[in-house]
Chain A
Amino acid sequence: MATPADKRHIAVPTATLAIIAAVLTVGLVTFANLTRDRIARNQQVWIKQHLDALVPPQSYDNDPLVDTTEVTAPDLLGTTTPVTAYRMRKAGLPVAVAIRSIAPDGYRGPLELLVAIAPGGQLLGVQVIRHDETPGLGDAFENRDAGWLDKFRGLSLTKPPQQRWTVRRDGGDFDAFTGATITPRAIVKAVRRTLEFYQGNEDRLYRDGQPR
């Protein structure tokens, strides 16, 4: 049977830990509240920079950071979690959708892409917004081969035809970077799949969750 001393021996440290945890929680929640707006703004600025690189801001008159919808398609968008799509419109008419799809099979883990598509399914451009590829090799699209991502502009599901929608080594139309095949292959595949998703969901992408 537990003596009162035993009980105290357990209760006091437990209570102490609980108090420390409670004090820390209060402190962290307060700090999280103080920084929340700033962090949200940083995220918006960050994504806006990438959007602006894909679609000129003067070509639409809505706020794509607010006019968003979440879509889920594990097979085509590379992730089981919902993916954000930013909608750009002018006078209510669709101008572009930018989908944050995932290339799951990068060399060192998934890459997050921003794929901008015009109505009809033509690519406006692709940005890699998050990646962990090998510095100096797999990240060539950032510096060494900076024009590589531009080559996606103007392409669509039929241009080039499906069997050539891959890197040159696999018989396709896309160059790989020197020393890295896996990264470009992953990006090309993910862009192609994002286009496939778009083709089957174009109406829904522009319509869903629209403010009335």
Chain B
Amino acid sequence: MSTPSPTNSSQGLSVRPGAGSNLPPPPARNRAFGSTLQLLALCPLLAVSDTVVKALGFSVLVLVIFPLATLLFSGVRRWLDDAIVLPASLLVTAGLVTAAELFMRAWFHDLGAWFGVFLPLLAVNIVVIDHIQTSDLDRRTALIRSVRIALGIALTLIALGLARELVGRGSLLSGAATLFGSWGERLEIKVFSVDMGFLLAMLPPGAFISLGLLIAARNWWRGRNQRVI
């Protein structure tokens, strides 16, 4: 059997070694835990997926911080004793996330206020994922992998943001001014008018339900494709 079955494929939510990928398969010991841990690591991020604008803003941060953390860390990795790899990576990512928080407060004040505690929490996610996925790879491979994981997280967040905002508020891109400046107000779309909206979609359980549906859709899609091939 050459194709991995959907249940134990290594890359979790979003990134999978597609046809023509030149990435080596991750070490076997990581396969079983990788996808579960990635899923768990994603959970705190779900809080910022209730509107498209929040999801977009956070995605940009993930796309910048995650590869940057990998790059910085693989730079210092060879100087590090095995015993301090974890605290050192925690230090580096915490530092990056703190800088990102200052950046948000300086240039995207309102959007940053919405992120609240979830921006600092991103440090934990990155450390967890980084530790499983890239601890024994060379710099280039590690970087490519972290970009792909970050892209996966970003796409997941945006998909959730679209679904939750549309169902929960009947709008898209509400609050766009906080991300794009004052001209962003023109981007807001009112798809349909609701008094209270479908509240469940806006609340945290809605995030988990949406994520579950998203994963189900992905598994269904993957299973179908494999049957065709």
Contacts and interface: CB of A to CB of B under 8 A. Distances in A.
Interface of A: 9, 12-13, 16-17, 20-21, 24, 27-28, 31-32, 35, 38-39, 42-43, 46, 130, 134-137, 144, 178-179
Interface of B: 50, 76, 79-81, 83-84, 87-88, 91-92, 95, 98-99, 102-103, 105-107, 109-110, 113, 168-169, 195-197, 199, 202-203
Nearest to A12: B81
28 contacts: A12-B81, A13-B81, A13-B83, A16-B80, A17-B87, A17-B91, A20-B88, A20-B92, A24-B91, A27-B99, A31-B102, A32-B102, A35-B102, A35-B105, A39-B102, A39-B106, A42-B106, A42-B109, A46-B110, A134-B199, A134-B203, A135-B50, A135-B168, A136-B168, A136-B169, A136-B196, A144-B195, A179-B196
B92 A28 contact: no
B102 A17 contact: no
Given A24-B95, A136-B202, A178-B196, 19 more contacts: A13-B83, A16-B81, A16-B84, A20-B88, A27-B95, A28-B95, A28-B98, A31-B99, A35-B106, A39-B102, A39-B106, A42-B105, A46-B110, A130-B113, A135-B50, A135-B202, A136-B168, A136-B196, A136-B197
B88 A16 contact: yes
B50 to A, nearest CB: 7
Q: Which of A20, A38, A130, A144 neighbours the largest number of chain B CB atoms within 10 Å of its CB? A: A20
Contacts of A179: 196
Contacts of B107: 38
Name A's interface SS.
helix
A42 B79 CA distance: 41
A39 B110 CA distance: 11
B81 A144 contact: no
Contacts of A31: 99, 102-103
